[in-house]
Structure 1
Amino acid sequence: MNKFCNSESLRKIRRELHQNPEIGFEENFTANRVRTFLEDNNIRYVSGLGKTGIVAWVTGQKNDSGNSVALRADMDALPIEEKSGVTYSSVNKGKMHACGHDGHVTMLLGAALFLIKNNNFSGTVYFIFQPAEEGLGGSKAMIKDGLFEKFSINEIYSIHNWPDLPVGKFGLMDGPIMASGDRIDIVIHGKGGHGGLSPHNCIDPIRIASELINKAHTIVGREINPLSPAVISICSINGGDINGFSVIPNTVKMSGTTRALDKVTQASIHCALRNLCESIEKYYGTSIELKIENKFSITFNEKSATKKALKVICENFGSESIQENHHPSMAGEDFSFMLDEVPGAYIHVGSGDDNHKHGLHSPYYDFNDEIIPTGVTLLSQLAIKSLETQV
């Protein structure tokens, strides 16, 4: 048993959550399990922020310094059919904890338990159990419901298991650690007709889509600073009927994503996509709808918070546990919106080993229970260090 948690009891909770996954804003079982745990351990909380979100808190027994810190975990699962083969596989068809949020919730519960039992500190620690991280805006929903108005939070931290890092390693840096994530939706309005008899009388949206895709994928290579990481990917296309082999459709719909690590690059991508659609419209005499929706802001680690996190990691796990040359990820994370409001840091916690080689969002993925004590230690000690060092 780790000095910061009862690993076996937390493992049971994690596997219970894994077996009962729920997608964004539907985390009722998960929220009930969190509330039960908090009540059983006399930890105060409020629920209903962002629909299913929960905020709990522990106040230290020393004279109140007025300092405060928040620790956040995401609760939602993904719409994936599980193929991991574990004995505690999902009982909810088509839903799966394929990103380890079941583990994140468990580690945050463990940190709350440790801090309520070891409350020889000054200040307040908040525990944020957030719904709908996977692109549905759970962070924004909690903020809209008054997260930072109802609770005075000076700093905020979150962790994410990272299968690309081996167990025992931690990845973080100040500045951007996760990319912005934008969804792009494109509708090409053409003029359908007979693909064999009269294609010359049509405005073929299939042809237009192919050109648009090819040119969109050259934007990063030719219109974006090569020193600024960026991604444009068209990931789906829908037009016509597979059995209508001679029918040119009226419309084609596409969707995709853009990613960037700075706001200038993000804006440049948006501008280039708009210019591309407008130029193709004029050339073909068609109409193109382009919608860009910001799903994730840039996850930006504040310098002093990152320094504190590095110190906590070195003190508890050794300086050799810091992954050298750890790079930002082009994946998105909606904890970014909380970091836009309050300074803090986001940390990748190594979870890869011989038994856990599948990546995040894989139907074969399973959270590595061996890192539960690591997460509990890191979160609880981050909170204490933050409260001790706030000015």
Structure 2
Amino acid sequence: MTVIPRISAFTEELVGIRHDLHAHPEIGFEETRTAAIVAERLAGWGIEVHTGIGGTGVVGILRGARDGDRRIGLRADMDALPMDELTNLPFSSKNPGRFHGCGHDGHTTMLLGAARYLAEMRDFAGTAVFIFQPAEEGLGGARAMIAAGLFERFPCDEVYGLHNAPDLEPGHVSVFPGKAMAGASFFDVTIRGRGSHAARPQDAKDPVVVATALAQSLQSVVSRNVDPLKAAVLSITRISAGSAYNVIPEEAELAGTIRYFDDAVGELAAARLKRLCEGFATSFDVEIEVDVRNVFSVLENRPAQTEELRQAVADVVGEAGADTTPRPFMGSEDFADMLQVVPGAYCWVGHAGNVPLHNPGFILDDGILPVGASILARIVERRLEA
């Protein structure tokens, strides 16, 4: 592994930044402290700073030592998850119900590391655009930045991003072209019946019975409607109803997500969900309200930019460490929306640890910080060579 020596030299400082961000996590569109730290660090390194992009987003602009018209964007997400941390780390979250359980504190730190190195060296011809995005975790931060004129104000010819991956070995990076992460919709279903005493169900239109039956039937959407050669998932992640042992409630609610690699499949699943709800409303004589909303686009790596990213990865972890085996992931990532506007690519950087992302015990390996920072720096140096 060949981490850039200058980045290796200030790795201890990167670890300190990451631990501070980890101890003070902020969820989507609330990343005011994080954004302020990012802006302060960038400005201190002589980088032009723009804040408040799409809410709490930050953009840094750095021009190389030599003239050039090309502009390369690098993106990191800043938000934490709305969950408690159970790691017992000395720098554990000080904010109850807030936890960097996905590694975004690491992503922010890695991009800061790349920005510092590039600002010190400026050994490139053109412009580096550092994009620090809020609200990746299902709240539409990328779309908010794009709607706020991100790429009109700060044009990019290409854009790149990365994610930590505890399911990959340290020193290995997954980077491959094509559809890499699923698109996603979230749905909420509200069933309105009629409540009664639990001892007199004949007086009720029981929404709990409807909810449980509907939950079972929705599992047929993928198994009996989607082409089995096309991947899709429909998961119900929340059922809620009632407040007492002896009361049949007025309402019950279901919520969940649909994942897919083909937009037509996502649309089919959403349509079938709605039709099933209509049928259940008629069958059980209740009202059912359905809200299905697209949250993530399918993340698709462009072939040319994927190869450029692979070469930058190989510069850091070696050819053997640059894994190009396709491994599409049903998880979603809103960097996909940026890739629909600007060509680019995304990779996954392996690190030590066996606790999965979004688990209350997840621990990011600090050893990944100089690796990710070096990859991001190298893609700028490679793509903006004189």
TM-score with structure 2 setting the length: 0.95
The match for 2:170 among 167, 172, 180 is 167
Flag structure 2 segments of 5+ consecutive residues without an equivalent: none
- Specify the alignment match of 1:50 in structure 2: 54
Cα separation, 1, equivalents of 2:107 and 2:192: 44
Is 1:362 aligned to 2:365, yes or no?
no
Is 1:60 aligned to 2:57, yes or no?
no
- Deviation, 1:45, is 1.1
Code of the residue aligned with 1:178 in structure 2: it is M
- Specify the alignment match of 1:244 in structure 2: 245
Q: Specify the SS of the correspondent of 1:369.
A: coil
Cα separation, 1, equivalents of 2:360 and 2:4: 30
- Deviation, 1:302, is 1.1
Cα separation, 1, equivalents of 2:220 and 2:384: 48
Q: Specify the SS of the correspondent of 1:39.
A: helix
Is 1:386 aligned to 2:354, yes or no?
no
- Deviation, 1:4, is 4.0
- Specify the alignment match of 1:319 in structure 2: 319
- Specify the alignment match of 1:179 in structure 2: 182
- Deviations along 1:222-245, one digit per CA (max 9) or x if unpaired, are 11111111111111111122x333
Cα separation, 1, equivalents of 2:157 and 2:111: 18
- Specify the alignment match of 2:85 in structure 1: 82
Q: RMSD value over aligned CA atoms? A: 1.6
Counterpart contact for 1:4–1:377, Cα < 8 Å: no
- Specify the alignment match of 1:153 in structure 2: 156
- Deviation, 1:37, is 1.1
- Deviation, 1:2, is 4.6
Is 1:120 aligned to 2:123, yes or no?
yes
- Specify the alignment match of 1:107 in structure 2: 110
- Specify the alignment match of 1:212 in structure 2: 214
The match for 1:11 among 11, 15, 26 is 15
Code of the residue aligned with 1:154 in structure 2: it is D
Flag structure 1 segments of 5+ consecutive residues without an equivalent: none
- Deviation, 1:44, is 1.1
Cα separation, 1, equivalents of 2:209 and 2:236: 15
Counterpart contact for 2:176–2:324, Cα < 8 Å: no
- Specify the alignment match of 1:37 in structure 2: 41
- Specify the alignment match of 1:348 in structure 2: 348
**Alignment length, in residue pairs?**
382
Cα separation, 2, equivalents of 1:68 and 1:200: 68
Cα separation, 2, equivalents of 1:88 and 1:240: 39
- Specify the alignment match of 2:267 in structure 1: 267
- Deviation, 1:211, is 1.3
Counterpart contact for 1:57–1:126, Cα < 8 Å: yes
Report which stretch shifted further, 21-30 or 103-112: 21-30
Counterpart contact for 2:123–2:381, Cα < 8 Å: no
Cα separation, 2, equivalents of 1:326 and 1:81: 33
- Deviations along 1:275-329, one digit per CA (max 9) or x if unpaired, are 1111212222222111012121111111111111112222332221133644111
Identity of aligned residues (%): 39
Q: Specify the SS of the correspondent of 1:67.
A: strand
- Deviation, 1:388, is 4.3
Is 1:372 aligned to 2:369, yes or no?
yes
- Residues 217-236 of structure 1 correspond to what in structure 2 (within 5 A)? 217-236=219-238
Code of the residue aligned with 1:316 in structure 2: it is V
- Deviation, 1:209, is 1.0
Cα separation, 1, equivalents of 2:248 and 2:19: 50
- Specify the alignment match of 2:199 in structure 1: 196
Code of the residue aligned with 1:368 in structure 2: it is D
Report which stretch shifted further, 276-285 or 374-383: 276-285
- Residues 133-148 of structure 1 correspond to what in structure 2 (within 5 A)? 133-148=136-151
Cα separation, 2, equivalents of 1:2 and 1:8: 14
Cα separation, 2, equivalents of 1:118 and 1:155: 21
Code of the residue aligned with 2:379 in structure 1: it is L
Code of the residue aligned with 1:237 in structure 2: it is I
Cα separation, 2, equivalents of 1:385 and 1:208: 58
Code of the residue aligned with 1:267 in structure 2: it is E
Counterpart contact for 1:23–1:77, Cα < 8 Å: yes
